[in-house]
């Protein structure tokens, strides 16, 4: 398979001959093998594991985003990502960088969610009139 991990400002990883991938989604861990059916999933902050014949098992810490598998290509688009060999170091960095939001970030996300919800309610009201 081909694995691409995309960031808003560029390509984090573009790997050929990936044998398997394990990502953390909103529904739990999802394993992807080459013949798996096409799918899409929402990614939550976590560790992605992938294996190649040349490098063996590798890990990367990912922020929230989306994963799409089409054919033999898997594209993961996230806001932030970090690579590393040590699982302990990646887990600590994941917790420090992605899982702890500042109060300002939490408040901004809550306000944005309220705005989106209000817009959708008004849109539905307009459609029913």
Is there a domain that residue 128 lies in?
Answer: no
Is the per-residue pLDDT at 19 higher than 90? yes
Is the per-residue pLDDT at 113 higher than 80? no
pLDDT category at 10 given cuts 50, 70, 90 is very high
Joined tokens for residue 33: 């093998």
Is there a domain that residue 123 lies in?
Answer: no
**In CATH, what number is assigned to the domain containing residue 85?**
2.60.15.10
Domain that holds residue 33: 2-101
Provide the pLDDT for residue 32: 95
Is there a domain that residue 33 lies in?
Answer: yes
Rounded CA separation 56/19 (Å):
9
Is there a domain that residue 62 lies in?
Answer: yes
Rounded CA separation 45/20 (Å):
19
Is there a domain that residue 34 lies in?
Answer: yes
Rounded CA separation 43/28 (Å):
9
Answer whether 94's CB lies under 8 Å from 22's CB. Answer: no
pLDDT category at 127 given cuts 50, 70, 90 is low
Provide the pLDDT for residue 29: 92
Provide the pLDDT for residue 71: 92
- What's the number of domains the chain is made of? 1
- Computed over every residue of the chain, the mean pLDDT equals 84
29-83 pLDDT, tens digit each: 999 999 999 999 998 888 899 999 888 889 998 888 899 999 999 999 998 888 8
Is there a domain that residue 114 lies in?
Answer: no
Is there a domain that residue 87 lies in?
Answer: yes
Is there a domain that residue 69 lies in?
Answer: yes
Joined tokens for residue 37: 């059916």
């Amino acid at each position: 398979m081909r694995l691409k991990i995309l960031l808003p400002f560029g390509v984090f990883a573009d790997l050929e001959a990936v044998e398997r991938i394990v990502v953390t989604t909103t529904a739990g861990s999802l394993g992807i093998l080459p013949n798996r059916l096409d799918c899409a999933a929402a990614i939550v902050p976590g560790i992605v594991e992938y294996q190649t014949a040349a490098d063996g098992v590798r890990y990367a810490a990912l922020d929230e985003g989306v994963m799409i598998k089409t054919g033999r290509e898997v594209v993961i688009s996230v806001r932030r990502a970090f690579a590393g060999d040590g699982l302990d170091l990646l887990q600590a960095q994941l917790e420090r960088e992605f899982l702890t939001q500042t109060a300002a970030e939490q408040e901004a996300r809550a306000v944005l969610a309220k705005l989106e919800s209000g817009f959708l309610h008004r849109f539905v009201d307009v459609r029913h009139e």
